[in-house]
Structure 1
């Protein structure tokens, strides 16, 4: 997406906040909502139909929040296929709407579990786009469950091997630190820079991060940059030098050295292997 397209998208969201306040324009729609709501409640009671329980929904979201994949999959077995609400007249549109809700809820559960909001939002956006582009009912449901799995795995990866008590204040600082890192992975990024942005002492930030995350903040930054490099190697055509520059490495060689330490593969070998694998999977 070029700069002009980004600006067009940004402009499209520039709406006067007062326009969001319900006014007379929505009176007719509100009447229809209340009428349909009353009819649905009556029909469901008459037919002894009910939605999947709220407790089941809570267990599913708590599984994601706790990074508990086994519990999540157990929750799926409790779902009743006939106990979903009607969100659209068209069958596929109805399934899509349910899947969109599942993905959105899962992303928020992952954030409560410690996943950086920007990562959660971006993954959520990606799954929603895939759902919108799909018209096969089975694939749609699998996509929604795949999203829940991915969010759960992300949260699980955040849980230290030995869980330590952490104050609410320290957790807030660590979460803010991670969020800053994820947003500023492009370019050079230092502990001092992050601490200054968060108005914290660099030594204090480094100390609480190492104590509660089990690794140095500088190491966390490096690993996250390598993860971005991995995705760029697979899903983009950027050269090794362009990727190194984008991520703030001194040179392609500098990136290559750290990349091989982390993945045990060179940049070229990694791109060749995974792009070939992706084509074969297609």
Structure 2
């Protein structure tokens, strides 16, 4: 039986049942909360620690066996979280070693509820480490507010004057202060954050490049491709081919 046949059959069944996978913007908010060290928001997405974990249609069915299904989902989740935390500054070896540890722990568990509980523990651990990292790299109140504003408005056409106004500081002083404390030019930081967020969508969704470009307010798809290549060394297409993580395989 061909993959195409299976694909069309499953899509038909999902349409008939009116089910679909989790929306990419919800996934984006979830993973962004982890990378930001936002425990409060992350807690809203905790897995129910019972035998129904990962059983909702929005997660996708990876196996007919409930325990094997939750194991597969756990591995996908820890892999995505590890990569996103690395992209947001977690030391690479620490992140991937943590991933290995959690997968090894999961491998010894015998019930769906146990895996679900470990999933929540894993998410909290990564989130707290990101939270601690951000506190250790503390900046002045103006720079912190600018970073928070940028994070909350990545989908907008961000202008330095607009950011300065939002944090109640002169534009020129904000640019000087930001570079002094971070070692990065403010406009370069904005572009880097947009590209990192775009890369997350590229590797965790099937969203078209044109829509991603529009979502993050690039002037055109070609401009987005150029900026993405300058930042990552890859075109969006190359990046998706190399790093795409499907929750359906």
Residue of structure 2 equivalent to 1:146: 122
State which of 210, 213, 223 in structure 1 corresponds to 2:192: 223
State which of 116, 134, 152 in structure 1 corresponds to 2:53: 134
The TM-score, its normalising length taken from structure 2, stands at 0.53
Report 1:82-161 matches (<5 A): 121-126=40-45, 128-129=46-47, 134=53, 136-155=112-131, 158=134
Aligned residues: CA RMSD:
3.2
Give CA deviations for 1:34-79 in whole Å, capped at 9, x if unaligned.
xxxxxxxxxxxxxxxxxxxxxxxxxxxxxxxxxxxxxxxxxxxxxx
Give CA deviations for 1:64-114 in whole Å, capped at 9, x if unaligned.
xxxxxxxxxxxxxxxxxxxxxxxxxxxxxxxxxxxxxxxxxxx8xx9xxxx
Does 1:242 pair with 2:211?
yes
Q: CA deviation at 1:266?
A: 1.3
Q: Secondary structure at the match of 2:157?
A: coil
| 8 A Cα contact 2:49 2:114, kept in partner | no
d(CA) in 1 for partners of 2:169 and 2:149?
13
Q: CA deviation at 1:205?
A: 1.3
Report 1:54-73 matches (<5 A): none
d(CA) in 2 for partners of 1:225 and 1:193?
17
d(CA) in 1 for partners of 2:232 and 2:145?
28
d(CA) in 2 for partners of 1:130 and 1:225?
32
Q: 1:141 to 1:272 in 2, by over 3 A?
A: same
Residue of structure 2 equivalent to 1:22: none
Structure scoring higher RCO (CA < 8 A, sep ≥ 6) equals 2
| 8 A Cα contact 2:47 2:120, kept in partner | no
Q: CA deviation at 1:125?
A: 3.3
Q: CA deviation at 1:226?
A: 0.9
Could you say which structure has the larger radius of gyration? Answer: 1
Q: CA deviation at 1:123?
A: 3.9
Residue of structure 2 equivalent to 1:262: 231
| 8 A Cα contact 1:116 1:182, kept in partner | no
Q: CA deviation at 1:228?
A: 1.3
Residue of structure 1 equivalent to 2:140: 171
Q: CA deviation at 1:182?
A: 1.2
Q: 1:131 to 1:251 in 2, by over 3 A?
A: farther
Q: CA deviation at 1:233?
A: 1.4
Q: CA deviation at 1:184?
A: 0.8
Stretches of structure 1 that go unaligned for 5 or more consecutive residues are: 1-106
Residue of structure 1 equivalent to 2:246: 278
